Structure 1
């Protein structure tokens, strides 16, 4: 630095090759290259408040010319272009007067010429400037990982000019403020921080961008601190879907720092693909934070997940494994199996079962239609609805079978939100409705030609429904039979003279009533009349047809024997067989 009030200068020496100038004529014919200061002249570096000398390293005296171009700021105190004889190994002082006009930088040069070489000495005067003082090194020692440790240092401007500066460093170090202005002689506080994300030693530099560009060394080491979760695994009990349940755990901070925590969905920062809702907070030294974990399932499933706690003082995120089970509506049947026993064909039946909701949420249900086997013969009412928590829904079942035989059918009620259905099993045996006679056989015994004989029987309906019946005789004719009593009332009938002739077989049996309806568990008395118009031994069957059920569902055996009487004893002797 040059003081404007001083008359001397400082500068490093600069050696140049000798050029073909007039001064070189001092030694004609001498045009050799410069041999540097080791073989010629050595100029000592100028320092402030010091005298400066030429020193000759030659073995013989040498003539030296010292000169300087004219300048309003720099002037040789000795005569310009004067010659000096330099003895070997001796020195000679050179004085320069410096007269600055403004506070700015100045430059000039001093030329020392010998017959063999030329030495050019640059002269520079540097104006007033800012000089910043800062610690050479800052050591943070051991610090918690993922935690900001800060140190405050003084930045001092010991120069005589205002300093506009910029401070910069590299992660995991930081500095505040990063830029500013500091007056001459002023000081300010600068905060240097250390926020490591990984365990291990870290070092860096703090660069100051000003007039000089100084750098200071930074160093820090870090380790995990005593911050932990009270548990690394949590299970929430069964929770009804669309409702919520919760459990609690703690984050324990046993260190002397205030730990900042944040819950995230991924194990590392690189895995954070998108913004997610994060819960965060702070825990003071030697304190605990209570964490509430809420579980709200949407389906009846077992849920598993992992939440990660990113917390100051710990390099890796702390995993918390979560497990919970969703519970749908609990709907049960009052009877899972309905045994109908023996039921009658084409007979309507009505039964009831109950759907019971044992859950604390609504249970929407829907009956699923089926057409398998006899499923289409069943009707359910209502087929859909919602059962309130703890409520009961009565289901009415209507059944009218049109297929005979045993059956076992499953009917399904789907419950929204539950993966399992309520299944009702219905089984039974379908039979025809039956009627029966009170006797097994009607025996008319010995009968005569043309004489009517009547016997009675009872037809009983043991079924719970009314039955419509119709009676018919097997192997009976269709033309009305001739009754001897009717014949006697017709004395002019040609049959007295010509005999009886039938175009078709006579209808010899009549039933009264021949058809009708028998009430449930009722009966009907039947009169069966036989008027024989043929000579034979009878063995017939009385058949019962039930409407909608079938033909010949019951039968009664009827027997009779034709008895031949003498012609004189018969009113229809003319009709007696030969």
Structure 2
């Protein structure tokens, strides 16, 4: 009884304290008898309160110093447990209720209906219990068979009702696991293992599951053992960070018990690095290769594993966190059991899963790492890695790859730099000033391309999609120039539009990021021409008597010229009448009527319109038949026609089309010809008409 009072005086723990049971404590508890377990119970917990009562209407002591989270009476033990029993025998346990209040309190025990458990109260069970004093009940148990039993007792005080669990533990499986497993010092990203022979020393079949957290893993993660059977369990330690690591290995029985085994390990880092850490490769032409060697030396006594990745380990772990989360979700939903990595490939589980390079010739931005992308380095040996540079463009390449190696927490970076050289194609000139170009004239220019490099140059010309850019044609427009050779290209220009221009023809060379520029600039002008005289002087001309003078129109341009001639200020009526026509056809009366008509057309030009071939001339006849007495001082005007069909005039026999007039008429001032050269002044004597009928 004194021992029980000491137990009651011990501190009461939190109502939901999490207890961690080691394998040795579990074995000890399971092998004890009912009385031994009671004697070894040293902790009490407040029971679960089912109902509260209002003490203001029934009691004189309406207030209590006991906190509402604790009942007025504390039961001991907090849970009545019967174990290692034999069927049809009766077992008894005392249940002590201690008055925690400062006043007298009444308590009674209500037994739930049960064929297996019974309660025997004390003689003074109806009286009140003094402060700090206790009352003892006896709980009996008579099992019919060897299995688990559950029940409860209801305790009623003046303030509350609470329950006391009662259970009987039947046959149990007991696995003799160690309380702690210590691993030797391990290199970061390496792994070490310990094997334990697990035996079932209980009296029931064991169905169990094993689970732990990284960096520890266990295999098998589940199993079944009959009584007396054994099984080898391998626990692995695979640290990814330097320092001490501690986790719990959870052993879960199918009967609901959980046992925790402590796992402890320490991790350290090796002094290992790549030689060199930065690689600068020689300048390499497109399509050619350049090789450099990088070494990694293992100076330890441990076999190291390596794996080349494209990302640092932080990014790889972020990518794998999604996969790990999916694994946890599947485990919580019961879709599959958790299985940890324990094979040799697990040393690079993260990098291989989402960042590793493949084997033999995997390209990384035009860099290749040959031999093997993952493997092992034996103790005190050196691994050689070949970095092959094969550029695809003429530019500077820079990339960083990472070697995930055992013994180093962070990946070893390797920065690779290389410059790709494209075909070296040079133009004989980059600017051509075409100056003045006649409209419709076809001009050709030769451009020489020289390949001064060591690889062939695949080229292609392109012209801008502009008004004058579409006037260029190139032959050949594409091709290949071998090393040390030259290629002539003809550039042809022909425009049907006037104006100044500056166009950039682009030479694109395969492998060069930027094209070469070939600039053509100039001005498209109309045809140039002039007359052989500056003036046509008819002198004194008789009334009605035709007079004819001739002149020559010279086309000084390299394109044909369409022209039309007219006299400014000439009449707009019918053709003038000559004197012979007047005498033979008109009477004097009719002549007066004829003179009163609208002023006739008095000048005749032959040809009035036509075409002059390039660098040629044409003779012009101008005839004046005057029907007006006056002084003539007029101008002979040349209208030069242009347009997109002007090119057809180079050889009339080539086209049967009429020359189209699109309203684009070039006057003398627009054709850059002096106005005096286009204006022919005709002088006639200023005479009054005769009064006679002659």
The alignment's TM-score, normalised by the length of structure 1, stands at: 0.54
For 2:576 and 2:304, the matched residues in 1 are separated by: 117
CA offset at residue 139 of structure 1? 8.9
Contact kept, 8 Å, 1:453 with 1:531, in 2: the verdict is yes
CA offsets, 1:524-577, max 9 Å, x none? 23333334332111101112223336264362322323265998xxxxx9556x
Contact kept, 8 Å, 1:448 with 1:564, in 2: the verdict is no
- SS of the aligned residue for 1:446 comes to coil
CA offset at residue 409 of structure 1? 3.8
CA offsets, 1:54-100, max 9 Å, x none? xxxxxxxxxxxxxxxxxxxxxxxxxxxxxxxxxxxxxxxxxxxxxxx
CA offsets, 1:269-297, max 9 Å, x none? 63464444351234444443221223456
> Corresponding residue for 1:550?
665
Contact kept, 8 Å, 2:459 with 2:507, in 1: the verdict is no
CA offset at residue 220 of structure 1? 7.4
> Corresponding residue for 2:462?
367
> Corresponding residue for 1:426?
520
1:560 equivalent among 677, 680, 683: 683
Contact kept, 8 Å, 1:468 with 1:547, in 2: the verdict is yes
> Corresponding residue for 2:323?
none
1:228 equivalent among 262, 266, 273: 273
Greater fraction of residues in helix: 2
For 1:431 and 1:466, the matched residues in 2 are separated by: 13
Distance 1:381 1:474, change over 3 A: same
Equivalences for residues 191-230 of structure 1 within 5 A: 197-200=240-243, 223-230=268-275
For 2:271 and 2:193, the matched residues in 1 are separated by: 20
- SS of the aligned residue for 1:433 comes to coil
> Corresponding residue for 2:627?
533
CA offset at residue 512 of structure 1? 4.0
1:252 equivalent among 297, 305, 308: 297
Q: Cα RMSD between the aligned structures?
A: 5.4
Number of matched pairs: 404
Tell me whether 143-152 or 260-269 shows the greater mean CA deviation: 143-152
Structure 2, unaligned runs of 5 or more: 1-31, 37-179, 198-209, 222-233, 250-260, 321-352, 359-372, 643-663, 669-676
Distance 1:169 1:409, change over 3 A: closer
Contact kept, 8 Å, 2:442 with 2:492, in 1: the verdict is no
Equivalences for residues 97-108 of structure 1 within 5 A: none
- SS of the aligned residue for 1:558 comes to coil
Greater fraction of residues in strand: 1
Contact kept, 8 Å, 2:632 with 2:683, in 1: the verdict is yes
For 1:366 and 1:326, the matched residues in 2 are separated by: 23
Contact kept, 8 Å, 1:370 with 1:411, in 2: the verdict is no
Equivalences for residues 410-559 of structure 1 within 5 A: 410=504, 419-477=513-571, 478-483=574-579, 486=580, 494-495=586-587, 501-502=594-595, 503-548=597-642, 550=665, 552-553=667-668, 555-559=678-682
> Corresponding residue for 1:380?
473
> Corresponding residue for 1:106?
none
Tell me whether 294-303 or 245-254 shows the greater mean CA deviation: 294-303
For 2:420 and 2:302, the matched residues in 1 are separated by: 40
Contact kept, 8 Å, 2:464 with 2:503, in 1: the verdict is no
> Corresponding residue for 1:270?
317
Distance 1:358 1:510, change over 3 A: same
- SS of the aligned residue for 1:250 comes to strand
For 1:217 and 1:564, the matched residues in 2 are separated by: 140
Tell me whether 456-465 or 296-305 shows the greater mean CA deviation: 296-305
- SS of the aligned residue for 1:440 comes to coil
> Corresponding residue for 1:400?
495
For 2:601 and 2:494, the matched residues in 1 are separated by: 43
For 1:329 and 1:245, the matched residues in 2 are separated by: 17
For 1:444 and 1:204, the matched residues in 2 are separated by: 126
Contact kept, 8 Å, 1:380 with 1:396, in 2: the verdict is yes
Tell me whether 497-506 or 305-314 shows the greater mean CA deviation: 497-506
- SS of the aligned residue for 2:317 comes to helix
Tell me whether 194-203 or 267-276 shows the greater mean CA deviation: 194-203
Contact kept, 8 Å, 2:501 with 2:523, in 1: the verdict is yes
Distance 1:555 1:196, change over 3 A: closer
